[in-house]
């Protein structure tokens, strides 16, 4: 079930394989308007909108665009469609259901910053989305929405698709750049930032699929109007991938400011079989696990900082009482241990040790010392890993130690009991 506001309003109403359908629905009109605007006016509208990136980190879009616009020479735009975060499927829907909206957003971004070429980096598993995007790009070239002197203007622009090979870390911007260049996906030390030195050492602007989709919307209604959607912390709408033990799983588009409880109960229809929610993981495997009592928190990045976490790309994974928290954490840690690129020591070695400690909790053989080791190791990895993978992979542990401390203590007591009675 999909709640339609703006980014999803054409879903199932247009044929994603037809550019004509998109044009009939007013598609590319905003880009045409942008072609007649001054580049700095477009950037100012985007600044007024207060939009933040939708790929996970929530960085202000206009700051990155303005700094990129200042760079000279050949410049790249990259659309990050890797979407490797477990529980997220919004970018897949955007690509499969309304591909030209993404291209229009990329064109606005490129025109306003002086870029010449875009790579859309799509995870290899998204075969259908890749096919639809390829078709859309072909149609856009045919109708001169891409190519030389677009729609009679001085602006020329190319788009090429690059397929990822299924590594989660390749969604991280530096690993993604390496992957586009044909190297193994490993992060780089920063600075320099991609806006200065990116793909093939050229300045590169990287944004998420959903972020690009917001640009036509911002220019259509104006930055100030856009900034009124949401609340004081975050503007616009957010696509939420809702899964787990909830009746109506699916993609929802909600204005920032709605609470997590509203999404789960009103849009998602509540928990299956009238069971109780025991915990909710926000953002994906890299996100916080919070108890039911915190569900009245807003969906915005600013307030999430209180919990040392972010909404990430927008997944909400609901778990009822039948789940064992330690099993969930174990699955998360197995995922990260498999996906670490191995470049930095805290991430490469740390995940192996954390996994061993979590296994002790799962197997009822943990003691107080294991708890303390887990606590300090998680903090060390979080603070010292080279890229966002290791910096965020410990969030499920850090958050559960904060909100479910008694569960850890209980497990230690039960482990002692097991040891005393069963050896």
Ligand X SMILES: Cc1cc2nc3c(=O)[nH]c(=O)nc-3n(C[C@H](O)[C@H](O)[C@H](O)COP(=O)(O)O)c2cc1C
Q: Is the peptide bond before 191 cis (omega within 30 degrees of 0)?
A: yes
The residue from 6, 45, 71, 83 that contacts ligand X (CB under 6 A) is 83
Nearer to ligand X, 268 or 287 (CB): 287
Nearer to ligand X by Cβ, of 108 and 294: the residue is 108
Smallest distance from the beta carbon of 265 to ligand X, in angstroms? 28
∠ CA 374-379-385, nearest 5°, is 115
Candidates 81-89, 329-337, 352-360, 405-413 — which segment interacts with ligand X by CB under 6 A? 81-89
| Shortest Cβ 170–ligand X spacing (Å) | 8
C-alpha to C-alpha distance for 2 and 98, rounded to whole angstroms: 14
Cα–Cα distance measured from residue 18 to residue 147, given in angstroms and rounded to the nearest whole number: 19
Residue 330 CB, nearest approach to ligand X (Å): 19
In the complex with ligand X, the residue whose CB is nearer, 208 or 400, is: 208
Task: Work out which of 53, 198, 255, 284 binds ligand X, going by CB under 6 A.
Answer: 53
Both ends of the chain: CA-CA distance in Å?
A: 51
Q: Residue 26 or 166: which CB sits closer to ligand X?
A: 166
Binds ligand X (CB under 6 A): choice among 207, 243, 399, 400: 207
Assess 244 for contact with ligand X (CB under 6 A): no
19 touching ligand X, by CB under 6 A = no
Cβ neighbours of 276 (radius 10 Å): 10
How far is it, in rounded angstroms, from Cα 366 to Cα 351?
17
> E strands of 148-232, at which residues?
158-163, 204-208
Long-range CB pairs of 189-195 (<8 Å, 24+ gap) are 189/386, 194/78, 195/64, 195/67, 195/68, 195/71
54 belongs to the binding site for ligand X (CB under 6 A): yes
Indicate which single residue of 96, 172, 178, 253 sits in contact with ligand X (rule: CB under 6 A): 172
**Binding of ligand X by 300 (CB under 6 A):** no
Sign of CA dihedral 197, 200, 205, 209: negative
Between strands 250-255 and 237-244, the pairing is antiparallel
| Shortest spacing between CB 353 and ligand X, in angstroms | 20
* Interface pick for ligand X out of 139, 208, 309, 415 (rule CB under 6 A): 208
DSSP 8-state code for residue 120: E
| The pair of three-digit structure tokens given for residue 324, joined into one six-digit string | 């064992």
Facing residues of 254 across strands?
238
Min separation Cβ 239 and ligand X, Å: 12
Applying CB under 6 A, which of residues 47, 133, 169, 177 lies at the interface with ligand X? 169
Count the residues of the shown chain that bind ligand X, applying the rule CB under 6 A: 23
Asked if 84 touches ligand X (CB under 6 A), the answer is yes
Contact call for residues 157 and 107 (beta carbons, < 8 A) = yes
Q: Which of 388, 397, 408, 415 binds ligand X (CB under 6 A)?
A: 388
Provide, rounded to whole angstroms, the least separation between the CB of residue 374 and ligand X.
21
Nearest-angstrom CA–CA distance, 224 and 44: 10
Least Å distance between CB 84 and ligand X? Answer: 5
Alpha-helical segments (H) within 88-144: 90-97, 99-113, 127-142
Select 177 or 319, whichever has its Cβ closest to ligand X: 177
The Cα angle at residue 156 between residues 108 and 127, in degrees rounded to 5: 70
Q: Decide whether 132 or 389 has the Cβ nearer to ligand X.
A: 389
Window 90-129: residues binding ligand X (CB under 6 A) = none
Segment lying near ligand X (by CB under 6 A), choices 101-109, 163-171, 214-222, 254-262: 163-171
Cα–Cα separations (whole angstroms), residue 65 to 62, 178, 194, 217, 358: 5, 21, 11, 17, 42
387 binds ligand X (CB under 6 A): yes
Is 45 near ligand X (CB under 6 A)? no
Q: Return the residue of 80, 235, 243, 399 that touches ligand X, per CB under 6 A.
A: 80
Q: Out of 115, 260, 290, 389, point to the residue binding ligand X (CB under 6 A).
A: 389
44: exposed, middle or buried (Cβ count in 10 Å: 0-12, 13-18, 19+) = middle
Tell me whether residue 17 or residue 352 sits nearer to ligand X (CB atom): 352
Task: List Cα–Cα distances, 293 to 89, 93, 246, 278, in angstroms.
Answer: 26, 31, 17, 9
| Residues forming the site for ligand X (CB under 6 A) | 53-57, 59, 80, 82-85, 168-169, 171-173, 206-208, 211, 387-389
């Amino acid at each position: 079930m999909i709640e339609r506001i703006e980014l999803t309003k054409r879903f199932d109403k247009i044929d994603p394989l037809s550019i004509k359908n998109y044009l009939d629905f007013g598609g590319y009109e905003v880009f045409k308007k942008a072609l007649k605007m001054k580049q700095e006016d477009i950037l100012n509208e985007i600044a007024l909108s207060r939009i933040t990136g939708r790929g996970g980190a929530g960085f202000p879009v206009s700051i990155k665009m303005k700094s990129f616009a200042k760079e000279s020479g050949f410049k790249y735009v990259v659309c990050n469609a890797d979407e490797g975060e477990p529980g997220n499927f919004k970018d897949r829907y955007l690509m499969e259901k309304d591909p030209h909206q993404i291209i229009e957003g990329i064109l606005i971004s490129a025109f306003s910053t002086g870029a010449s070429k875009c790579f859309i980096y799509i995870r290899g598993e998204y075969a259908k989305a890749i096919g639809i995007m390829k078709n859309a790009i072909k149609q856009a070239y045919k109708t001169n929405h891409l190519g030389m002197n677009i729609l009679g203007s001085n602006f020329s622009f190319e788009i090429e698709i690059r397929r990822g090979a299924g590594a989660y870390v390749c969604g991280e911007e530096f690993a993604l750049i390496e992957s586009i260049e044909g190297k193994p996906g490993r992060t780089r030390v920063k600075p320099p930032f991609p806006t200065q030195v990116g793909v093939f050492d050229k300045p590169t602007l990287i944004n998420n699929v959903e972020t690009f989709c917001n640009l036509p919307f911002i220019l259509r209604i104006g930055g100030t109007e856009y900034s009124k959607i949401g609340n004081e912390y975050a503007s616009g709408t957010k696509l939420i991938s809702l899964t787990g033990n909830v009746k109506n799983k699916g993609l929802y588009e909600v204005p920032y400011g709605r609470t997590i409880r509203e999404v789960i109960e009103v849009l998602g229809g509540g928990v299956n079989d009238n069971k109780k929610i025991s915990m909710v993981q926000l953002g994906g495997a890299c996100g916080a696990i919070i108890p039911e009592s915190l569900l009245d928190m807003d969906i915005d990045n600013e307030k999430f900082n209180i919990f040392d976490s972010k909404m990430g790309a927008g997944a909400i994974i609901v778990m009822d009482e039948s789940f064992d928290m330690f099993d969930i954490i174990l699955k998360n840690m197995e995922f990260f241990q498999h996906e670490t690129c191995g470049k930095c020591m805290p991430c490469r070695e740390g995940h192996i040790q954390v996994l061993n400690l979590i296994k002790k909790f799962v197997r009822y053989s943990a003691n107080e010392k294991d708890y303390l080791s887990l606590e300090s190791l998680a903090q060390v990895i979080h603070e010292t890993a080279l890229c966002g993978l290791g910096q965020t992979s410990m969030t499920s542990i850090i958050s559960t130690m904060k909100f479910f401390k008694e569960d850890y203590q209980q497990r230690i007591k039960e482990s002692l009991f097991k040891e005393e009675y069963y050896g």
